[in-house]
Amino acid sequence: MKQQISDIVDDLLNHKLTRDGAVKNLKTLFSTENVDVQQKEALNAAVTAIYFNDNSDYLRALYKVVRNLTDINDLFSDDTQINDLFKKLNPND
C-alpha cells in the first residue's frame, strides 16, 4: 500500500493527476485496503452490481452484502430474518 500511496503522490507532484483525482484514488485505495474479509466481500458484491448495472443481479447482490455484514446465511429461505433486521434498524417504522 505504501508504494501505491507513493505513486499517487508522485503523479500529483508531476501534474499527471489533479488534486481531485488524487483524493479519489486515495479514497478508493483506503476503502478497499482497510476492511476485513467479510466487509470486502460485501463491498465487492455491491460495487459489482452497480458496475455491471444489471438489474437482475441487484437483489442477489444486496442479499450478499447483508449476509457478509451480518453472518446470516439463510436470507433467501427465511424472510423473517430480513423482517427482523429491518425492524431492528428502523425501530420507528
Residue type (1 letter), 36: D
Share the mean pLDDT of the chain. 79
CB atoms within 10 A of CB 42: 21
**pLDDT at residue 32, rounded to an integer:** 67
pLDDT grade, residue 54 (50/70/90)?
Answer: low
SS3 percent helix, strand, coil of the chain, rounded to 5, is 75, 0, 25
Listed by start position, the domains of the chain span 2-33, 37-89
**pLDDT at residue 31, rounded to an integer:** 65
Q: Please tell me which residue, 26 or 72, carries the higher pLDDT value.
A: 26
CB atoms within 10 A of CB 41: 16
Rounded distance between C-alpha atoms, residue 28 and residue 21, angstroms: 11
Residue type (1 letter), 29: L
pLDDT grade, residue 29 (50/70/90)?
Answer: confident
Phi-psi region of 81 (alpha: psi -120 to 50; beta: other; left: phi over 0): alpha
Phi-psi region of 8 (alpha: psi -120 to 50; beta: other; left: phi over 0): alpha
- 58-88: per-residue pLDDT in tens? 777 788 888 887 777 776 676 777 777 778 7
% of the chain beyond a pLDDT of 70: 88
Span 8-29, average pLDDT: 86
